[in-house]
Structure 1
Amino acid sequence: MSRRRRSTKEISDAASPAAGGTDPRRRVPRTDTLLAGPAAQAALAAHREAVVRAEVRGIQQAVRAGELAPERAEEALAGRLAELDTTSMHPVLNATGVVVHTNLGRAPLSEAAVAALQRAAGYVDVELDLESGRRSGKRGAATVAALLAACPAAEDAVVVNNGAAGLLLSCAALAGGGEAAISRGELIEIGAGFRLPELIESAHVALHEIGATNRTHPADYAAAAARPEARAILKVHPSNYRVEGFTAGVDLPELRRIADDHDLALIADVGSGLLTPDPAIPDEPDVDTALRQGADVVIASGDKLLGGPQAGVLLGRAEAIVRLRRHPLYRALRMDKLRFAALEATVAGSRVPVADYLHADAEELRGRAEALAAAVGGEVVVHDGRVGGGGAPGVPLPGWAVRLTGSPEELAAALRAGEPAVLARLHEGAVLVDPRCVPAERDAELAAAVRAARESLTPEFRESPCTGPDTDPDTDKEA
């Protein structure tokens, strides 16, 4: 039964002499008394005083409202302070099978990147020459060197705070005040209603749309390039959708020829962050190939298939990169020391979780799923993973999952509320728990979380009859 909050009059009446009571509001604990308690003193060692005082005020208000007995105030305060944390972010085990999961922060960082973040957290020589003691211009130089070593076709590189910033800077520096030709089939909207045309036009670049949604030809680009306002040709990879059927497009080598004929810059946004080709996703464009095919600047995201922190990675011809670095926007869009460190470690390091999950062996995943099913119940079913994050749309990553039915909505909620939190997949009346993106050393932890979630349900929801394999991943939602 829910408890109704009493009105002020009811509290007063209950506390009146006639009622034989005492108004609890007159016994609200003093602020200094609560702050002097052991729980508050311990919390003050880890949190700002303003944070602790806010919790104290909340307890006092509960006493004034008659929702909390004054003698229980210190105990209640201790409970609230025990739940305080210095960050609101909650670690989650990704059991969806989606490798680059935007809602979970995209790429999980490698051990090397995490160590680099910790090393860079204090004072570091980000813009200091330790030998001379003077300010240096080496900010991000080691990260750029690591990128150039990993992408031999690039002459130079610059890094900004995300992929959209990279596109904005490229258009502003190479086409500002003029036009950029773009195919209508590449006028992309990404997550949360964010549209690339609006971003590009904010850089004082007029987009000259050419061709049709499904077919654009060299003659369309040539006509656009001949316009007096033309400054650049923009080629954007539609990474979060596919156009199939009666289609036509123009590849980078042909665009390079057209750009040279009219002295235009050629900008390629490949999106998901592959530096070199990956046989697991052969149709996904990569930076090195785009540069060899003639792009002046290639834009990629650091926190997708590259597997690093959020970043906009721009590699290309030295002359073009210099123009980007000298543009006033670069100062506003540049990276901080933490992400420079993490990106350098990601590119130079040997093991990146995104690559491990992308190339996970299907038979190994099956063995892990079978062990999980033996521990928690359910049925092992074929389950294709996905790249996610707008990369390689529709490309399956063969794998397996444990299928749990019974009361999927309640089980999914219990998994998310557990410790650790587990995000699984809801599909056709079942919860699918996919081990692909869970580190193998955490399999026992995952099993324990699933068992705890099932045991937290009422008896009628604990049963998990299985109704057969489920192999269609395209009509689901996250659990």
Structure 2
Amino acid sequence: MADPRRAIPRTDAVLGEPRIAKAAETLGRDLVKTLVVAAQGRARAGEIEAAAVVDDVLARLPATVASLRPVLNATGVVVHTNLGRAPLSPAALDAVVAAGGTTDVEFDLDTGERAKRGRGALAALAAAVPAAGAVHVVNNNAAALLLCALTLAPDREIVVSRGELVEIGDGFRIPDLLAATGARLREVGTTNRTSARDYAAAIGPDTGFVLKVHPSNYRVTGFTAEAGLAELAGLGVPVVADVGSGLLGPHPMLPDEPDVATALAEGAAVVTASGDKLLGGPQAGLLFGDATLVERLRRHPAARALRVDKLTLAALEATLRGPRPPVAEALAADVRDLEMRAEALAASLRSTGVEAEAVSSTAVVGGGGAPGVDLPSAAVALPARYAVALRLGEPAVVGRVVRDRCLLDLRTVRPADDATLREAVRRCG
């Protein structure tokens, strides 16, 4: 009998198949060839028929060359760090595509001369917070704090409350970050109570600045006290306020969340924030404050190493100037609208034989923002087995499992994605 492996098509023949050849133009010949060789190996092992090699390759072609996969966030966590924090708005995505080619990022088309880098994004940021004397952008909020320490407290002391020496995620801790710059931390107060007198007693000739840190993912309750920015601003040294979550002004749904405009009004010399949390933009560290201090930060040699690229600048400007981003939409969503969407989705799924039910849910801000704040929401409840199938599907859908049910929380799903979510569930049924 003839060896069936002889029927396995040659590599060049498979690569020459029109559909695979077209994919190679988009994804690259090397990546597609790797898939072809793997399919041939499966055919030799008897896992697939020799005639199925082309179909096997086509079924395994990725949507893009990059390994990152789009995910539909149905967790109810508005700013989900593990899912990339803030999803960009359509306007920001368009801006990123436009900026992906050759751009005038540091070039003045009118004069033909070099121009200030990121001038459009910086102007938009300044317009969003008029109280700031100047603004600057680095690659994340940790970098913003790092630059403040390098510039304002080289070989000097940073006075900070013991209750604010927080861990910011993945094992990175504020004290370790600041100590790495060569600055010395002067801890004051206790974990639950720190007064303005504690700060005042610690300030001396070696003080670079006082640091006020947003507590991020936790809240201390009970017998507590902390000094406000207005009190600290009167101590005679610069106060750097890390508001963390990127809220530029007060938000009606998050009354206790610190924001940039309020921190400046209360006397902070420099305020740092994240661009990819409540602002709803790309990952970036935002700096606002006294014009002289911000210019010192901008001119520090380390600022070059911490600067953002043209894609970030484009996305940031579009987020600030364009329509409301998805994070803002999710926060503003009316719970009754969410309930109606959940009821419609559940009914549609039941008509296809899926065991689905509309239920009340509780969403959260996430990303270290507004700890302890619950956002009323609505979800579609499915049997728990759907959780894994949805994560592995196309597109990937991530919900959360509660009491043996997979909940798909609609506060973090845009209405335009309801049909996609329904089809993803239906395919897993």
Q: TM-score interval w.r.t. the shorter chain? A: over 0.9
Most deviating of 421-430 and 45-54: 45-54
Alignment-mate amino acid for residue 248 of structure 1: A
1:265 Cα offset (Å): 2.1
User: 173, 183, 188: which is aligned to 1:205?
Assistant: 183
Judged with a 3 Å threshold, the aligned counterparts in structure 2 of structure 1 residues 134 and 53 are, in CA distance, closer, same or farther, namely same
CA deviations on 1:149-185 (whole Å, 9 max, x unpaired) are 1112101000011111111111111112111011110
Q: Which has the higher strand share?
A: 2
1:78 Cα offset (Å): 3.4
1:385 paired with 2:363, answer: yes
Alignment-mate amino acid for residue 169 of structure 1: L
1:444 Cα offset (Å): 2.6
Most deviating of 117-126 and 38-47: 38-47
Contact 1:40-1:81 within 8 A present in 2 as well:
no
Q: Which residue of 2 aligns with 1:5?
A: none
Q: Which residue of 1 aligns with 2:108?
A: 129
Specify the SS of the correspondent of 1:383.
strand
CA deviations on 1:298-345 (whole Å, 9 max, x unpaired) are 000000000001100111110110010010111001011111011011
1:395 Cα offset (Å): 0.2
User: 32, 44, 47: which is aligned to 1:52?
Assistant: 32
- Paired with 1:305 and 1:284, the residues of 2 have a C-alpha distance of 10
Q: Which residue of 1 aligns with 2:353?
A: none
Contact 1:272-1:390 within 8 A present in 2 as well:
yes
1:62 Cα offset (Å): 4.8
User: 403, 407, 415: which is aligned to 1:432?
Assistant: 407
Specify the SS of the correspondent of 1:397.
strand
Contact 1:109-1:309 within 8 A present in 2 as well:
yes
1:369 Cα offset (Å): 1.5
1:451 Cα offset (Å): 2.7
Contact 2:158-2:185 within 8 A present in 1 as well:
yes
- Paired with 1:362 and 1:267, the residues of 2 have a C-alpha distance of 37
1:80 Cα offset (Å): 6.0
Identity level (%)? 52
1:139 paired with 2:114, answer: no
Judged with a 3 Å threshold, the aligned counterparts in structure 2 of structure 1 residues 373 and 35 are, in CA distance, closer, same or farther, namely closer
Most deviating of 381-390 and 327-336: 381-390
Specify the SS of the correspondent of 1:399.
strand
- Paired with 1:382 and 1:395, the residues of 2 have a C-alpha distance of 16
Specify the SS of the correspondent of 2:412.
coil
1:74 Cα offset (Å): 4.6
- Paired with 1:183 and 1:229, the residues of 2 have a C-alpha distance of 17
Specify the SS of the correspondent of 2:336.
helix
- Paired with 2:3 and 2:342, the residues of 1 have a C-alpha distance of 62
List gaps (5 residues or longer) in structure 2. Answer: 351-355
Calculate the TM-score normalised by the size of structure 1: 0.83
1:417 Cα offset (Å): 2.4
Q: Which residue of 1 aligns with 2:387?
A: 412
1:443 paired with 2:423, answer: no
1:253 paired with 2:253, answer: no
User: 62, 65, 68: which is aligned to 1:86?
Assistant: 65
Alignment-mate amino acid for residue 270 of structure 2: V
List gaps (5 residues or longer) in structure 1. Answer: 1-19, 456-479
Contact 1:27-1:70 within 8 A present in 2 as well:
no
Judged with a 3 Å threshold, the aligned counterparts in structure 2 of structure 1 residues 171 and 81 are, in CA distance, closer, same or farther, namely same
Alignment-mate amino acid for residue 239 of structure 1: S
Q: Which residue of 2 aligns with 1:274?
A: 247
CA deviations on 1:85-131 (whole Å, 9 max, x unpaired) are 32222222222221111121111111221121122111111111112
Indicate the structure whose relative CO is greater, using CA pairs within 8 Å and at least 6 residues apart: 2
- Paired with 2:281 and 2:289, the residues of 1 have a C-alpha distance of 20
Most deviating of 353-362 and 272-281: 353-362
Which structure has the bigger radius of gyration? 1
Specify the SS of the correspondent of 1:288.
helix
Contact 1:39-1:78 within 8 A present in 2 as well:
no
- Paired with 2:220 and 2:179, the residues of 1 have a C-alpha distance of 25
- Paired with 2:45 and 2:75, the residues of 1 have a C-alpha distance of 45
1:54 Cα offset (Å): 2.7
Q: Which residue of 1 aligns with 2:297?
A: 324
Q: Which residue of 1 aligns with 2:156?
A: 178
Q: Which residue of 2 aligns with 1:167?
A: 145
Q: Which residue of 1 aligns with 2:198?
A: 220
Q: Which residue of 2 aligns with 1:400?
A: 378
Judged with a 3 Å threshold, the aligned counterparts in structure 2 of structure 1 residues 402 and 80 are, in CA distance, closer, same or farther, namely closer
Calculate the TM-score normalised by the size of structure 2: 0.92
- Paired with 2:202 and 2:58, the residues of 1 have a C-alpha distance of 67
Contact 1:60-1:73 within 8 A present in 2 as well:
no
Q: Which residue of 2 aligns with 1:306?
A: 279
1:28 Cα offset (Å): 7.7
Q: Which residue of 2 aligns with 1:477?
A: none
Contact 1:366-1:401 within 8 A present in 2 as well:
yes
